[in-house]
Amino acid sequence: MEGDGSLDSKIESLLNVEKQMRLNGDVAGTKKAAIDILQLCFESHAWKTLNDQIVVLSKRRGQLKQAVTAMVQQAMQYIDKTPDIETKIELIKTLNSVSAGKIYVEIERARLIKRLAKIKEEQGQIAEAADLMQEIAVETFGAMAKTEKIAFILEQVRLCLDRQDYVRAQILSRKISPRVFDADTSKEKKKPKEGESIVEEAPADIPSLLELKRIYYELMIRYHSHGNDYLEICRCYKSIYEIPSVKEDSSKWIPVLRKICWYLVLAPHDPMQSSLLNSTLDDKNLSEIPHFRSLLKQLITMEVIQWTALWSTFKDEFENEKNMLGGSLGDKAADDLKERVIEHNILVVSKYYARITVKRLADLLCLTVEEAEKHLSDMVVSKALIAKVDRPMGIVCFQSVKDSNDILNSWATNLEKLLDLVEKSCHQIHKETMVHKAALKV
């Protein structure tokens, strides 16, 4: 079919028609002639001729933008109808080279690159697929639908995570603001004013905004899991938990709420963790998993937690987590959980004791003296705690040393309170005296 003489003669006559229309500035006629040539090649299964004609037509002198756009859009419909993968790749590459550097077909080029990257990924060439996707900066495309832009960037992030390029994955993820998922999609779209660019409708295979939100936070969980940033992972799960489709189905929200509880316990103690902990405890859904409510309660109660008792209670739940939605908590999670319990216990001891021997501290923590010293030192270095250790005496002091200004300020405050109290007492005595004098006169 490729060498069919009648095909060549038909194409030649159509090329003459296209030339006349183009020179006369007839947009509709030029578009029709160009599309007819492509349709003729497609119906004849002349794929090589089709590729050649796309290049020839796009390079003709003074070729109209509308004709190039129509050609690219028409040829994109043939991609799925190609006989084999090599022909498909060749056609995509031809269309890609034709649309390169042309703003009026930038959306079509982005879609072509995405399809080519998918083929590369299916062939196991993850790095090549990621490199292809990174060529396109869809955030600058004014005519592309918001959901399609987000889906494209998320695909870029996913491929970077698949090739373990975490730095680039973070850079790309920052192109998406989490606030974009909170936009009200129920509002009617405003008609574009005169002079404004028209935003295209997203293709049918692009997920909804709420589905994209779930995909975004799942990718962020993958990214933060690489650095064991438990608090950020917890916040991502919290955002997934707030999605209506998840909150309405107990089979979906129970595994997510379990993950929120686990990562709250694993996260180091700080104001953000404390705030999330209290808001999670106020959640009525937590009554469905009472085991986890008791786990969180232990963290906010100022009492020493016995690690062996805690681990024996939650060991089965911890190991069962790998079978739940979202997978296991990570290789380091069990060690980090023990670390958090020790840190909690040290904070509890610091609340009740001003000074304590290292041996007694080690007994309370169920650790050796060396281990207790190490954990205490780590907390002091991270500024989670103020403490000083007198190693020769074996004493830990949890009180911070005040400078002279702090001492004078506290004295001044105490004196002010004392004088205020004396003044109020004198006023009350004077009032009582006046009342009794009035009663005697009567």
The string of pLDDT tens digits covering residues 260-300 is: 888 888 888 888 888 888 888 888 888 888 888 888 888 88
As for how many domains the chain has, the answer is 2
Q: Which band of pLDDT confidence, cut at 50, 70 and 90, is reported for residue 401?
A: low
The residue out of 99, 133, 160 marking a domain boundary is: 99
Tell me what pLDDT residue 194 has.
46
Tell me what pLDDT residue 185 has.
53
The residue out of 51, 84, 99 marking a domain boundary is: 99
What is the mean predicted confidence (pLDDT) over 378-389?
Answer: 82
Residue 376 lies in a domain: yes
Residue 119 lies in a domain: no
Q: Does residue 422 have a pLDDT over 90?
A: yes
Tell me what pLDDT residue 191 has.
52
Q: Which band of pLDDT confidence, cut at 50, 70 and 90, is reported for residue 188?
A: very low
One-letter amino acid for residue 295 of the chain = L
CATH number, domain with residue 386:
1.10.10.10
Residue 14 lies in a domain: yes
Q: Which band of pLDDT confidence, cut at 50, 70 and 90, is reported for residue 93?
A: confident
Q: Does residue 220 have a pLDDT over 60?
A: yes
Average pLDDT, the chain: 83
Q: Which band of pLDDT confidence, cut at 50, 70 and 90, is reported for residue 442?
A: low
Residue 294 lies in a domain: no
- Lowest mean pLDDT, pick from 50-59, 292-301, 314-323, 409-418: 314-323
Which has more confidence, 353 or 439? 353
Residue 75 lies in a domain: yes
Residue 277 lies in a domain: no
Residue 427 lies in a domain: no
Q: Which band of pLDDT confidence, cut at 50, 70 and 90, is reported for residue 402?
A: low
Tell me what pLDDT residue 421 has.
92
The residue out of 84, 99, 114 marking a domain boundary is: 99
Using a pLDDT cut of 90, give the percent of the chain over it: 4
Residue 391 lies in a domain: yes
Domain span at residue 402?
Answer: 353-419
Each residue's pLDDT tens digit, 130-183: 888 888 888 877 778 888 888 889 998 999 988 888 898 899 888 888 888 876
What is the mean predicted confidence (pLDDT) over 87-97?
Answer: 86
Q: Which band of pLDDT confidence, cut at 50, 70 and 90, is reported for residue 425?
A: very high
Region for residue 228 given its phi and psi (left: phi exceeds 0; alpha: psi -120 to 50; beta: otherwise) = left
